[in-house]
Amino acid sequence: MSRPTFISSCLTVAFLLLPGCSTISRLNYPVTRQTNQTDVYHGVTVRDPYRWLEDDNSAETKTWVTAQNKVTFDYLERIPQRAAIKSRLTELWNFERYGAPFKQGSRYFISKNDGLQNQSVLYTMTTLDAEPVLLLDPNKLSSDGTVALSGYDISDDGNLMAYGLSTAGSDWQEWRVRDVRTGTDLPDQIKWVKFSGASWTKDGNGFFYSRYDEPTEAAKLTKANYFHKLYHHRLGTTQAEDKLIYHRPDHKDWNFNGGVTDDGRYLVITASQGTDPKNRVLYQDLQTPDAPVIELLMDFDADYGFIDNDGPIFWFSTDLNAPRHRVIAIDVTKPERSNWKDIIPEATETLTGVSAVNNQFICAYLRDARSQIKVFGLDGKFIREIELPGIGSAGGFGGKRSDTETFYSFTSFTIPGAIYRYDLASATSSVFRAPKLKFDPADYETRQVFYTSKDGTRVPMFISHKKGLRRDGNNPTVLYGYGGFNISITPTFSVANLAWMEMGGVYAIPNLRGGGEYGEQWHQAGTKLRKQNVFDDFIAAAECLIANKYTSSKKLAISGGSNGGLLVGACMTQRPDLYRAALPAVGVMDMLRFHKFTIGWAWTSDYGSAENADEFKALLAYSPLHNIKPGARYPATLITTADHDDRVVPAHSFKFAATLQAAQRGRAPTLIRIDTKAGHGAGKPTTKIIEEAADKWAFLLHELK
């Protein structure tokens, strides 16, 4: 496929924007007031002159935000390529996208986005070839697409849907109930839900959910979230009448998720503590009115993921004595560990998910960060491997034990997700929905390489680009990373990344320690006192790209969001010479105070806490905010955050930007882009995603010359 004509004009314009010839004059940043605020940690005095920016409700902070956005958008709007990039992104984004369907009762449920809709729309179908019937269109709930469907659960008969809505990107959800048959809402309304789904009882008379107590209006986006509580809501009653099922006032940091088993017999309660993958498990027999909640697994010694049950036999995926997970069976009538049974042993690949469909286990594995799907009998006997369309990521495979079909999606860095139907009786896959594209995936390629980190650890990295790339060290390259919270980064399609490659760029993703690609040991190797391993892995990835002539320091940008924003902040302050540009998004930048806001306390399982002397020392050594050195030359930086981010509060980015602007030497810009009516990322409307992507790529085109 030929390259669009706007690309050549972009490159011509970029050539004119060399140092000394830039059409954008030196920036005049807003003056950010400094105070004498200091704190003493374990005998060490630490300055925090921009503490006042933590108050997102103050008039001074709001004025600062407005002034910073004016500088940033004035800068971005003067980059000639920006409009053409946004136009091409919009064109590429305009294709139909589907979620994997599932069946409940006599109906199938499926989500679809026509292309440029801000939010995907939920439909029902009586058969797979029937005309879809509209069930819920979130785009009609706000004029700007900032109300998003955050979750939903369908009753066993398929007639009722409990659904959650998030506004302006906040983690707070409001849940309602819709009659699937009529498409109308019932009066039921549930507020102050966060980090929870819903789960219907078998009879469809109510559902379980978790919530926090109602916060004050001023504190709802910043106040620490403690004392999660699990409730049951009965249809037709008010929230004030909801029954409290379980809470632990003696453990303010326990969070609860309640799910009803497919047979309707049990409520299985998972109790998590922060973001630690370890958890506790309790259950309640729903056949007995007011039955007590029974403690089943309370040692907090491993991750126990409930799969399904056969009467009192509960199946779990666990990393207990198996860092890459195995499947076990526990009889809750005799739960002693001596009675546990191994069903599927630990493999060399990492087991990431298990479902029970067609009286078989469908197991999702990662093999060097690529999906691999295997089918086992309920006795653990291997049956077959499901052949996938290529090297990429497969997700879905849901259903009930009685189902003979399941659906899954498959995607890669250069192929948008297609939806497949898998017939378990015939062991065959067929395409259910496939997108029609405005580019040719055959024009691109992805390879996986392995490089050596600072301490000798072997780390994999995916590298994607247009075919025919010349490895002459002159290719603009984006190095993206995450490395935390046991989260695996696998091949996934992104319109924005495709546009970058279409412009001739390279996109590289290393699988850093701290993630879950190689099991719990890989995760733990990038946590707390070992967090520096993650940054070393990322720095080594940059050096690998340069050594193998994919790019050079003057053509290299680094990017990451959330924990990945921390990654970018730490690496640009540790090795500012290694990159030309940096894109830290919604990052955790103040490693001494992160635990004081919203759900930040939960991250201490990965980061540690400044309240502990040894962990404070490690945190201070890499905290992006505290390692900015006055007079140093840092890469050109575009920080992105949002005013409704109540996951990683924007104060992290505010303070980092103010400190970096004051310290930066030379002409490299330090900008902060603060989105409005947006949050940490989930539910962001398509228009905002396109605008932000256009701004980032325009910034890089200008800065990478």
94 pLDDT band (50/70/90 cuts)?
A: very high
**In the predicted model, is pLDDT for residue 22 greater than 70?**
no
Give, in degrees to the nearest 5, the angle at Cα 308 between 305 and 309: 125
Q: Which residues contact 534 (CB under 8 A, 6 or more apart)?
A: 483, 484, 512, 513, 514, 526, 567
pLDDT (0 to 100) of residue 13: 29
pLDDT (0 to 100) of residue 92: 95
Residue by residue, what is the 3-state secondary structure of 88-117?
HHHHHHCCCEECCCEEECCEEEEEEECCCC
Domains observed in the chain: 30-91+440-703 (3.40.50.1820), 96-260 (2.130.10.120)
In whole angstroms, what is the distance from residue 272 CA to residue 278 CA?
A: 7
Q: What is the mean pLDDT of the chain?
A: 94
Nearest to 703 by CA among 585, 542, 582, 587: 582
In whole angstroms, what is the distance from residue 364 CA to residue 427 CA?
A: 16
Query: Is 92 within 8 Å of 498 (Cβ atoms)?
Result: yes
**In the predicted model, is pLDDT for residue 287 greater than 80?**
yes
In whole angstroms, what is the distance from residue 233 CA to residue 208 CA?
A: 6
pLDDT (0 to 100) of residue 456: 98
25 pLDDT band (50/70/90 cuts)?
A: low
pLDDT cut 90: percent of the chain above it: 89
For residue range 542-596, what is the model confidence (pLDDT) as tens digits?
A: 999 999 999 999 999 999 999 999 999 999 999 999 999 999 999 999 999 999 9
pLDDT (0 to 100) of residue 17: 30
Instruction: Find the mean pLDDT for residues 294-313.
Output: 98
For residue range 172-191, what is the model confidence (pLDDT) as tens digits?
A: 999 999 999 999 999 999 99
Instruction: Find the mean pLDDT for residues 519-540.
Output: 98
Residue 430: helix, strand or coil by DSSP?
Answer: strand
pLDDT (0 to 100) of residue 458: 98
For residue range 500-516, what is the model confidence (pLDDT) as tens digits?
A: 999 999 999 999 999 99
For residue range 450-466, what is the model confidence (pLDDT) as tens digits?
A: 999 999 999 999 999 99
For residue range 371-402, what is the model confidence (pLDDT) as tens digits?
A: 999 999 999 999 999 999 988 999 999 999 99
The catalytic site residues sit at 562, 680
Cα 523 to Cα 89, 513, 563: the distances in Å are: 35, 6, 13
